[in-house]
């Protein structure tokens, strides 16, 4: 087993306290947004060998098919979508041919892989994701007596369904919108909330986003999206082609090993508006909650069925002196998400872990047992298990 030394990413939407507190570090000088755990070439984890030398995790484990992240947001990340495998391959090859450096700010495709992902909440976690049904969008827009909202309402009523929603989003992103038009929509949302009216939290969400992005079309596009709040221990699956924007909270993200993100607003990063529109997938326009499968009394498994990744969460206590066996997998990244535990492999190697500590365990480590009182999350590539049940957001 190897204790992981993981890459930290500082983005303006991160927090100063959540991740540092989770990993037991002091207050940083800049916001901490993500900690990457895996072998992605843009920011691979590293390990220390018995002779004291440092190695990248991929030199020890090979390329892992999954990437695990600790993510903390104090404000919206970006309005974004992730590409499927074929679109990622084509985009990666195209940008390579154009000679765009992998770390260039205008680069969209960092690798040739798709990026389905799953969120596992460690705190209350808020996001907007997937389009509302047409009828619900029309209900949301109808009371907003602002010209822009009424135009959106009329356009969608004339062209209903998924194609009409995408067409509306494309026009909002491609045509210049005066910030006064957005502010009129926001003021109407504020007035409706003062009157005690909100439809599926649409108006409150628009006001929340407006605090950080007052002139961004993403404020009004958020009215078209489902608002979702996860409580700690709940999970949601975002397949490729699903538009979303995480709003705030702390979570584990487990995904295919990719950093491909197409953004169209609510961010200071590079935008690829047409790329986002082209990636939208009608068949996956709604988010699915992941209903965990219980293994005994200790472990819940969150497996969205994509094959690249799954997450198992195990509780242990001192009431079990023989320890608790973790879910068996050939390769996994193990993170202590609470308490203090001791991890033991088949060779009786032992590692003491506290919250925030991460470990790679490979084929030769065999069955892992955990002792103490705490919680352990394991990211792994599922073998022959049936996938968890996915439940529609609404």
Q: Is 263 a catalytic residue?
A: yes
The CA distances from residue 25 to 18, 20, 347, 359, 375, in Å, are 10, 5, 31, 18, 19
Pick from 116, 6, 10: nearest CA to 73: 10
177 three-class SS: coil
Asked if 298 contacts 120 with a C-beta cutoff of 8 angstroms, the reply is: no
Q: Which two structure tokens, joined as six digits, stand for 357?
A: 């500590």
Asked if 326 contacts 371 with a C-beta cutoff of 8 angstroms, the reply is: no
Alpha-carbon distance of 329 to 90, in angstroms, equals 32
291 three-class SS: strand
User: CB burial class (10 A; 0-12, 13-18, 19+) of residue 254?
Assistant: buried
Alpha-carbon distance of 101 to 312, in angstroms, equals 36
Helix (H) / strand (E) element for 86: namely: helix 85-97
**Cβ contacts of 297 within 8 Å, gap of 6 or more:** none
Among candidate residues 107, 132, 210, 263, the one labeled active-site is 263
DSSP states of 316-339 as a string? E-TT-TT-EEPPP-SSEEEEEEEE
What amino acid positions are annotated as catalytic residues? 263
């Amino acid at each position: 087993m190897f204790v992981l030394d993981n890459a930290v990413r500082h983005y303006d939407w991160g927090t100063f306290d959540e991740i540092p507190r989770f990993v037991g570090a002091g207050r940083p000088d800049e916001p901490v947004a993500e900690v990457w755990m895996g072998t992605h070439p843009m920011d691979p984890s590293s390990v220390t060998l018995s002779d004291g030398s440092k190695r990248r995790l991929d030199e020890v484990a090979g390329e892992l098919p999954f990437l695990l992240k600790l993510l903390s947001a104090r404000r919206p990340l970006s309005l974004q979508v992730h590409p499927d495998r074929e679109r990622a391959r084509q985009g990666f090859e195209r940008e390579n041919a154009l000679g765009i450096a992998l770390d260039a700010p205008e680069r969209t495709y960092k690798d040739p892989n798709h990026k389905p992902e799953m969120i596992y909440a460690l705190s209350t976690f808020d996001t907007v994701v997937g389009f509302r049904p047409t009828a619900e969008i029309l209900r949301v827009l109808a009371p907003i007596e602002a010209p822009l909202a009424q135009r959106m309402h009329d356009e969608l009523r004339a062209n209903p369904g998924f194609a009409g929603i995408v067409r509306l989003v494309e026009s909002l992103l491609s045509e210049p919108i005066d910030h006064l038009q957005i502010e009129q929509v926001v003021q109407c949302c504020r007035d409706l909330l003062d009157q005690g009216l909100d439809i599926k939290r649409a108006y409150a969400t628009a006001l929340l986003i407006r605090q950080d992005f007052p002139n961004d079309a993403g404020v009004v596009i958020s009215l078209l999206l489902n608002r979702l709040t996860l409580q700690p221990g709940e999970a949601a699956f975002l397949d490729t082609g699903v538009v979303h924007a995480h709003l705030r909270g702390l979570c584990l993200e487990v995904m295919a090993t990719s950093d491909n993100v197409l953004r169209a607003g609510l961010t200071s990063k590079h935008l690829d508006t047409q790329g986002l529109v082209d990636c939208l997938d009608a068949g996956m326009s709604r988010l699915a909650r992941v209903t965990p499968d219980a293994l005994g009394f200790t472990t819940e498994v969150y497996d969205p069925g994509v094959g690249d990744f799954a997450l198992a969460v195990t509780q242990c206590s001192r009431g079990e002196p023989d320890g608790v066996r973790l879910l068996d997998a050939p390769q996994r990244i193990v993170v202590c998400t609470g308490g203090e535990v001791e991890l033991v492999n088949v060779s009786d190697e032992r590692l003491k872990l506290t919250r925030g500590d991460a470990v790679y365990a490979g084929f030769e480590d065999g069955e892992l047992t955990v002792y103490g009182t705490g919680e352990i999350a394991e990211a792994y590539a599922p073998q022959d298990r049936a996938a968890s049940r996915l439940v529609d957001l609404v």
